[in-house]
Structure 1
């Protein structure tokens, strides 16, 4: 009886360890499969958006970290020390932590998030009552991305 329990516990331990080391294959898709016809780098997204606040697009970039597995929340590197915070519109999608460090292709809606300094700049006034320089006003702007589909690239 003890031998059977020992064998079962060893089997369970091996299965648990083996599941953690499963690599994500190239081309693995979460959600919808992205159309790569109009693919662009994540670092070029902000300049491509211009003055638009929302745009539907397909971008590629490196996942910095998966912040929340349930619901598919992750951060994507946008170059120049910028980060795009992304999440799936379908909350039923779960992303594995092994996605961190991988290059992915995502499709969805990019949106600029404005902070108080940007809104005051748009009004033409700041807290101090002085005009703000355009370069300084855009430095704190962040982009969020509502993901409809993700494909592991590299």
Structure 2
């Protein structure tokens, strides 16, 4: 009986001292760090709407409507005079005319084709003939193209207070 107790005690001691290793799965997610040049008010790219989301938002808006928005888009055209406006294409063939709050900052003139994040106000407005002709002149359009502008145009617009220009 004494031997049985000794054997039982040894087995119990071995079981109690056993090191159990548990496997833990670790999933690592690498997040791509995007580098931006910040222009105007300091903003982040968090919660920025895609071009398709902004296309849907603009479709629901009427002349005079304004919403606070943050959007991502590709620059189609920039004012070649000072960089005081730019155009972003939407999915439905429309463009967004982007101006900068209080002309507080301007964009580089050579950023057509680059991605940007805009923060500010999206709105729908009517652009008079003389203003359209001014933008056409800034864009370097010909005299015939400028003269062909003969009526006011309802446009999707955006007043940006901050812009992130995606780095290469």
Does the pair score TM above 0.5? yes
Residues in 1 aligned to 2:106 and 2:165: alpha-carbon distance in whole angstroms: 14
Secondary structure of the residue aligned to 1:40 is coil
C-alpha distance 69-114 of structure 1, shift in aligned 2 (>3 A): closer
Checking the alignment, whether the CA contact within 8 Å between 1:84 and 1:144 is kept in structure 2 is yes
Residues in 2 aligned to 1:110 and 1:143: alpha-carbon distance in whole angstroms: 8
Alignment root-mean-square deviation, CA: 2.5
1:36 is displaced (CA, Å) by 2.5
Aligned pair 1:77/2:89, yes or no? yes
Consecutive unaligned residues in structure 1, runs of 5 or more: 1-24, 116-139
Q: Alignment partner for residue 29 of structure 1, among 38, 44, 55?
A: 38
List structure 1 segments (4+ residues) > 4 angstroms apart after TM superposition.
none
Aligned pair 1:143/2:152, yes or no? no
Query: What's 2:111 paired with?
Result: 99
Checking the alignment, whether the CA contact within 8 Å between 1:30 and 1:149 is kept in structure 2 is yes
Instruction: Please list, as runs of the form range in 1=range in 2, the aligned pairs for 1:1-150 lying within 5 A after superposition.
Output: 26-48=35-57, 50-51=60-61, 53-68=65-80, 70=82, 72-113=84-125, 142-150=155-163
1:33 is displaced (CA, Å) by 2.3
C-alpha distance 78-68 of structure 1, shift in aligned 2 (>3 A): same
C-alpha distance 110-100 of structure 1, shift in aligned 2 (>3 A): same
Secondary structure of the residue aligned to 1:39 is coil
**Deviation digits for residues 78-107 of structure 1, max 9, x if unmatched?**
122210000101314122112111000000
Consecutive unaligned residues in structure 2, runs of 5 or more: 1-33, 128-152
| Higher radius of gyration, 1 or 2 | 2
Provide the TM-score with structure 2 as the length reference: 0.54
Provide the TM-score with structure 1 as the length reference: 0.59
1:30 is displaced (CA, Å) by 0.8
Q: Which moved more, 1:33-42 or 1:80-89?
A: 33-42
